[in-house]
Amino acid sequence: MLLDVGDLSRATGNEKEFAGSESRLEIELRGDRFVFRDVQVQGWAKNVGGKIYIKGNIDTNADLNCSCCLTPFTISVASSFEETYYATASVKEGDLDDTGRIYSGEQIDLRDVIIESLVLALPMKPVCHPDCKGLCPSCGCNLNKDRCGCSPQEPDPRLAALGEILKNMND
């Protein structure tokens, strides 16, 4: 998404609202592919003394795979972002703070900021529903849909003492 800031950069204090959308946004991150659908972005931008401060919100739907049962599912994702952009011509050594970005011309490309915000808003361990039973560790059966015929696993003998403590606590 490109934001035209030509009119903003002319005078300190100029500001404007913006909105945009993208029907599909795909991100590949460390071998995983994330698909966001119906991405809606809205916000405002302001010239704050030679730099452009941008604040916005993102609403979208993300297609994910459950980390327990591997079933695809969709969640709603809402995120916000704030960023300061410096014009290439106005940046002097030491002026750019750690969070600022540089732009050239009269447009700012918000794609990287939007992607960062969306990735940070995703759950670390996406689960299709809170009581997901996952997959059987022996046969791989989806325990949400079927019952498998596998025998219950024997507890690790190294944890036998802990099992006894828990048994005594429940009695």
Residues 48 and 111 in one domain: yes
Residues 113 and 163 in one domain: no
Region of residue 163 (phi > 0: left; psi between -120 and 50: alpha; otherwise: beta): alpha
| pLDDT attached to residue 101 | 84
Region of residue 162 (phi > 0: left; psi between -120 and 50: alpha; otherwise: beta): alpha
pTM: 0.76
Contact by Cβ (8 Å): 33, 27:
yes
Measure the CA–CA gap between 39 and 22, rounded to whole angstroms: 5
Residues 59 and 140 in one domain: no
Contact by Cβ (8 Å): 61, 36:
yes
Question: If pLDDT is split at 50, 70 and 90, which confidence band does 164 have?
Answer: confident
What pLDDT digit, counting tens, does each position of 122-153 carry? Answer: 999 999 999 999 998 888 899 999 988 887 76
Residue 129: inside a domain, yes or no? Answer: no
Total domains in the chain come to 2
Residues 68 and 7 in one domain: yes
Residues 34 and 76 in one domain: yes
Residues 145 and 75 in one domain: no
Residues 14 and 93 in one domain: yes
Residue 22 pLDDT more than 70?
A: yes
Residues 43 and 117 in one domain: yes
State the alpha helices, DSSP H only, in 5-159.
111-121
Residues 90 and 22 in one domain: yes
**Whose CA is closest to 45, among 5, 101, 99?**
5
Residues 19 and 92 in one domain: yes
Residue 106: inside a domain, yes or no? Answer: yes
Residues 23 and 72 in one domain: yes
Q: Which domain holds residue 141?
A: 135-171
